Structure 1
């Protein structure tokens, strides 16, 4: 092979080798890119902090009391007829920091006032353990108190008396009875679960003289058993103050 032919042959071999180096597996040519590397992406803006969900608004409904709802707590010999009682279904703030719906039976003359008080308590986020009709406890005041149940109407006599209680008229409310126990003048109390509240600690649900709870009931003219001389009924609010 002369020099000219040899040079052409070598050039052909180089061309074949060059083309082979550019191919991928299977003989396809791998695409190349002339784009410059992209810049490092800037960090995204931080997500906004979640907003606190607003609590549902206070709601209340006043209705007639079905006889079967008070079959244990009302009877014809009670000092107020069934027609003069009202069932309130309303929102209350729980110790779990959540809204709940409870029920309470009161005198018809006081129903709207009671709703206005509990609307204020809900706005204060004053915690209430539970709010059930005393009939859920077969009208046992003792059992209702042991359950820390907030209630109103119950056709019964006043504690230690033969006279009708204001509860028998639907004109009294017992509020968080465990946190706010009945304490005799000698310091005794009937419910063991209330022991730690007899000395009136600064804890949720405990009512103190002149606080917002006392003032809320005072705004409708109701007095507080915690202001009685001697014996104290810290859970008790009534239209007569007794």
Structure 2
């Protein structure tokens, strides 16, 4: 009995050790890998949407006129002296919805008032086709109108008259002349490219209508509108005398 008992004990011990080893291997297979502690890559930030650039502020400059600047539109015998005229350089809002810089010549006594009107029009984003001195067109009023040029001083007679126009004094502005044509009493006009703009009221860009913000802006400095005339209508025309 004494010799067999140790053998049995030894056999049991070996069996237990074998079982423990198998359990350990099984546990090793079932144990999950530890989670990685490395941070996930950060996705690249998408480019920020471009912030729209605000239009520039309205600016203006009033300066003396030189003879070369009005070599076609002014001459000896005009009803205003050269040194009573001023060159106005100012910002205007274009039909392309962008800011532009234009020029016009005005009588010195009204230059600041007229600038205040165009400041309002710019702030209201009223579109203007172009604003160049009539001398760019060699003083030819027809050619200036035909390209829709907004202008002021031009030493010439009033249309259909032998008397000086208010433009000859620098006391008048013609604004978007194609969108706002001059109409004879019978409704005819001299520019075929203005035919689509003869009716009022008319809801189109650059058009001036009775009592609108353009008419009110000029009225605020005491100027009248040619669209209020009876018979002949001059929708482009604003003047100090209302004529």
Partner residue, 2:85: 85
Deviation at 1:48, TM superposition (A): 5.6
Rounded Cα–Cα distance in structure 2 between residues aligned with 1:198 and 1:42? 64
Question: Map of 1:101-112 to 2, 5 A cutoff?
Answer: 101-112=101-112
Partner residue, 1:146: 146
Q: Can you give the 5+ residue segments of structure 2 that lack an aligned partner in the other structure?
A: 1-32
For the residue of structure 1 that corresponds to 2:86, the secondary structure is: strand
Deviation at 1:40, TM superposition (A): 6.0
Rounded Cα–Cα distance in structure 1 between residues aligned with 2:36 and 2:84? 87
Partner residue, 1:22: none
For the residue of structure 1 that corresponds to 2:130, the secondary structure is: coil
1:238 aligns with 2:235: no
Partner residue, 2:210: 209
Rounded Cα–Cα distance in structure 2 between residues aligned with 1:211 and 1:88? 25
Q: Deviations over 1:208-233 (max 9, x none)?
A: 01110000000000000001111110
Rounded Cα–Cα distance in structure 1 between residues aligned with 2:96 and 2:34? 64
Deviation at 1:199, TM superposition (A): 1.7
Partner residue, 1:68: 68
Question: Map of 1:139-218 to 2, 5 A cutoff?
Answer: 139-200=139-200, 201-218=202-219
Partner residue, 1:59: 59
Partner residue, 2:226: 225
CA radius of gyration, larger in: 2
Partner residue, 2:16: none
1:97 aligns with 2:97: yes
Rounded Cα–Cα distance in structure 1 between residues aligned with 2:35 and 2:42? 20
Partner residue, 1:17: none
Deviation at 1:167, TM superposition (A): 0.1
Rounded Cα–Cα distance in structure 2 between residues aligned with 1:156 and 1:188? 22
Q: Can you give the 5+ residue segments of structure 1 that lack an aligned partner in the other structure?
A: 1-32
Rounded Cα–Cα distance in structure 2 between residues aligned with 1:39 and 1:87? 68
Partner residue, 1:125: 125
For the residue of structure 1 that corresponds to 2:92, the secondary structure is: strand
For the residue of structure 2 that corresponds to 1:90, the secondary structure is: strand
Q: Deviations over 1:46-82 (max 9, x none)?
A: 7665433211011100000010010100001000000
Equivalences, count = 210
For the residue of structure 2 that corresponds to 1:157, the secondary structure is: coil
Deviation at 1:238, TM superposition (A): 0.1
Deviates more, 1:92-101 or 1:42-51: 42-51
Q: Deviations over 1:99-153 (max 9, x none)?
A: 0111000000000001101111110111100000000001000000001000000
For the residue of structure 2 that corresponds to 1:168, the secondary structure is: helix
For the residue of structure 2 that corresponds to 1:77, the secondary structure is: coil
